[in-house]
Amino acid sequence: MSKAAEIDIVSVSKVYGATTAVHSISLKIPAGSYCCFLGPSGCGKTSTLRMIAGHESISSGDIRLGNAVVTDLPPAKRGTAMMFQSYALFPHLDLVENVAFSLKMKGVEKEARRVKALEMLKLMQMDAYATRRPAQLSGGQQQRVALARALITDPEALLLDEPLSALDPFLKIRMRAELKKLQKTLGITFVHVTHSQEEAMALADIIVIMNDGRIEQAATPRKVFEEPATAFVARFMGDHNVLSGRVVASKDGVTTLEVPEGQTFSVRGNGKTVGEAVDIGVRTDRVRLNVASDKTLGFNGVVSNIEYRGASVKITVAGAGSDDFTVIANDNDYFAKPVSVGDAVSLSWALEDAVLLGRA
């Protein structure tokens, strides 16, 4: 297999007519890492992947793969390979011919490409099916063939566009584990586009969260979870509540804000000026129900919804300007002191369970 390459995206934009899909993004994806692009529909993640692959022209900026600037190179000359969401297998060809296809295009002689295709099918544990056609395979098997086909060119980076979206939920989780194992075995750079937070958290060494054509945060899953950079990331990942207000005090490493409804909240962090608009994120799993505490670390509200989830219970509370402030309570804690919709409750958390969010 080839060696892995770093991917360096330098001030890259993509403009389609009047739409700017990607706004001058810069990012270094380390060689040999598993990178997931995550974001809502239309945020520009597929356009970015297609520009790395060479399937879409770059409106401005540059992309470097290893030491080479690939901005103007065609896909086959970049050292990348792409696996599409639909797998794009040829229905009339058997698996060997499907996998060998790009070698045929390169003029590799028949027996050599057959040997290499069988080697790739073996890597994906599909060699026993070599003479079948795609329609005679399950979804998971088709995906393995599509991977074998992408990997036959010995790419330095494999680009995957929503690779798991066609699979049922159980197979999705199994193939997710296989993708991660494959990336570790090959050691090449994987760039994977998904709209699933769970998928990105499970797979990535680095998660790139995009919104409206811009990168909101690029960091390890743990960093994204514990220190979301912006209110968008905190809301999108779903593990933090966001409270917005204006700074009323900032000293000794603690900033205090006041929300329009009048409550004040303290959070660790410096460098804010009085009157400045700020957002804080509060961990949903760290909020305590009906436990007295310092009043700048909580508020009183009314329960608007309760969802049982097995190991935990999700309680939604209206208050402090939020309609859906979320508390994820451990099942034992909740059932020791359950609440009902319409109950007045007090919510509280510790200083370290809130983070000061940046503004993009």
Ligand X SMILES: Nc1ncnc2c1ncn2[C@@H]1O[C@H](COP(=O)(O)OP(=O)(O)OP(=O)(O)O)[C@@H](O)[C@H]1O
Where does this chain bind ligand X (CB under 6 A)? 16, 19, 21, 39, 41-47, 195
| Residue 137 CB contacts under 8 Å (≥ 6 apart), including other chains | 95, 129, 145
Closest to ligand X by CB, 46 vs 80, is 46
CB of residue 46 to ligand X, shortest distance in Å:
3
Half-sphere exposure in the Cβ direction for 220 (13 Å, CA): 4
CB of residue 233 to ligand X, shortest distance in Å:
15
Q: Distance between CA 262 and CA 241 in Å, rounded?
A: 18
Closest to ligand X by CB, 85 vs 264, is 85
Q: Distance between CA 143 and CA 124 in Å, rounded?
A: 10
Nearest of 253, 213, 208 to residue 229 by alpha carbon? 208
Closest to ligand X by CB, 46 vs 326, is 46
Q: Distance between CA 271 and CA 358 in Å, rounded?
A: 11
Nearest of 358, 162, 196 to residue 278 by alpha carbon? 358
| DSSP category for residue 165 | T
CB of residue 44 to ligand X, shortest distance in Å:
4
Closest to ligand X by CB, 43 vs 289, is 43
* CA 30 centroid distance within chain: 16
| DSSP category for residue 53 | H
Closest to ligand X by CB, 35 vs 303, is 35
